[in-house]
Amino acid sequence: MSSTAERAPRYIDAINQALAEAMAEDDTVVVIGIDVGAGEGIFRVTRGLFERFGPERVIDTPISEMGYVGAAVGAAMTGLRPIVEIMFMDFLGVCLDPIMNQAAKLPYMTAGALSVPIVFRTQTGAGRSAGAQHSQSLEAMLAHVPGLKVVMPATVTDAHDLLLAAVRDPDPVVYVENRRLYATRARLDRDPLPLGVARVAAVGEDVTVVTWGQSLRECLTAAEGGSPSLEVVDLRSLVPLDMETVLASVRKTGRLLVVHEAVQDFGAGAEIAARVADELFDDLRAPVRRLGAPAVPMPFSPDLERALLPSAVAIAAVAEKLTRES
C-alpha cells in the first residue's frame, strides 16, 4: 500500500466509525464510560468523538461501573440512546443489576410503557495474558437473561454494521468485541446482514462447525485443510439466535461441532447442541460435539493460556474424529 489511507480499515476503526455515524445520525445517542472522552478509551476505540461531539455527548465517568451503568439505564428510560462502555467483560460482575434487573425487564414489567434503547459495549477474550479477571467470555450468562440481545461480531463489517443495528434497536443490546480482533483488517461489505441472521463463512460437506467471535478465525483456519470438509457458520449473535441457518447446514452434513472460547461447561454451545438434537436427531450421523475452554480460571502464563483455548489444530482433530464416528 502506498499510504495508510488506502489500507482496509481495522476492526477497531469500524467500531469507531459506527459510533461516529450513530451520533451524527441521532443527537439522542450519547457515549458514556471511563476515559471515553479526552482519553479516547482504554483501547482508543472512542478516539476523536470527544472533539467532534463535545462533553455533553461523550461523557467521562468516575471509576464506578454500578453508578454510571445505572445512570445510563435511567437516561435510556427518559429519551436518550446511551452507548455504555464497560472496559472489560469481567467487570459486569460489579454492574449486572441495572443490566439484567432493570434494562432487560422494565419493558415487560411496564407492559411496553417504557423502552430501554441502550447498548452495553464491552470487550472480551483471552490470549493476551491479561489474567483471570480480564480474560473471561461471559456471553452465555448474558444470553440467559430474557430481554437482552447479545451480539458478538467476528469480522470488520459486522463490527460496524452490528453496532449500528444495536444502537437503532429499541431493546437493550450487549455488544461484545474481542480485543484480539482489533487489529484485523478488511474492506467493509456494503451489503450487510441484519442482526439475528447467521452467515455461512465457509462452505463444506462433512461437518458443520458453528462458532462466533474470535473463534471464527480458528475455525476458518481449520477449514482450510480441506479434509474433512468443514462448513463454518458464524452466528454473529447469540440473541437472536438464527437456528434456521444452523439446522440447514446440519441437515446437509449430518454432523455438528460447536466451538467457542468461553468455558465449555454450561455454555451457549450446549444450548445449540440441544436444539439440534431435538430437531434433527434422525439426521445426525454422529453425536454432537462441543469444543470450548475447560472450567478453570484463565491463567496468566501464555503457554497455559494457549493450551486452554480451542485452536485450529484441535478443531480439525475433533472434526476428523466426528467423521470416523459415522
Residues with a catalytic annotation lie at 65, 134
Contact 95, 71 (CB under 8 A): no
Contact 64, 91 (CB under 8 A): no
* b/e per residue 217-252 (b: at least 16 CB within 10 A): bbbbebbeeeebbbbbbbbbbbbbbbbebbbebbee
- The sign of the torsion formed by the CA atoms of 187, 201, 248, 176 equals negative
Which helix H or strand E contains 86, and what residues bound it? strand 81-86
Please list the residues that pair with 153 across neighbouring strands: none
The helix/strand/coil state of 322 is helix
How far, in Å, are 74, 274, 296, 298 from residue 304 at the CA level?
42, 30, 11, 8
Separation between Cα atoms, residue 193 and residue 144, nearest integer Å: 24
Dihedral pair phi/psi, residue 40, rounded to 5°:
65, 20
Which residues, including other chains, have CB under 8 Å from residue 216's CB and lie 6 or more apart? 154, 155, 201, 232, 234
The residue to which cell 452507548 is assigned: 83
Separation between Cα atoms, residue 108 and residue 86, nearest integer Å: 25
Contact 111, 75 (CB under 8 A): no
